[in-house]
Chain A
């Protein structure tokens, strides 16, 4: 069974204090790993897709990396507006589990709070 575990559950940072969020996963045939950002009362918003170990992607203060077992979301010099819940999801290859779509398994998320 595909599993995604995110840690920590919650992270409180001071503005400018860099840190990382972890996403550990097991999946039967990884097609891609997704990172989403979710603001309170809103739907998840797509950030990155990573496809293979060693791949990195950056967007402003965020950088996502991928290994064969986990992904990290590095936040450099965060600002209060980076406060949100960050969700990780793994996508299995088409047909996994008898599905007719690329099955996504989401983690529970990490709640990030950045204080000014």
Chain B
């Protein structure tokens, strides 16, 4: 049972480059989330989705875009990467809005 799978696990970008992080879950969860984790900051929500075809902004959405074309996938895009986007990114899913979150193992992104 894979749970929540993130790809890639590591990526190095140059400033201005673009990339997409992919999150896939096999638990048939309705809700999916993208967080970033920075030292001393805790986990901060970037974007979230309450169902297929829907997305909404979280706390720190600037510089990111997302899409949820299929229920099991949630994509996070960076159109023009900046050094401030160097972070560890976590995808999570939940079966309902008040349920516990199931996290992926993270994607470590470095922007030079």
Contact = CB atoms under 8 A, between A and B. Distances in A.
B102 A104 contact: no
A93 B31 CA distance: 16
Interface string B43-65: 11100101000001000000000
The 6 A-B residue pairs with the shortest CB-CB distance, nearest first, are A43-B103, A106-B42, A106-B43, A46-B100, A102-B97, A101-B97
6 contacts: A43-B106, A46-B100, A100-B56, A106-B43, A107-B42, A108-B41
Nearest to A100: B50
Contacts, number: 53
Given A43-B90, A100-B50, A106-B44, 12 more contacts: A42-B105, A43-B92, A43-B105, A44-B90, A49-B100, A87-B43, A91-B98, A94-B98, A100-B97, A101-B31, A101-B48, A101-B97
Given A99-B56, A106-B43, A108-B42, A43 B104 contact: yes
Which range contains the number of A residues in contact with the other chain?
A: 20 to 34
Interface residues of B, number: 22
Main secondary structure of the interface of B (DSSP, over half): strand
Contacts of B104: 43
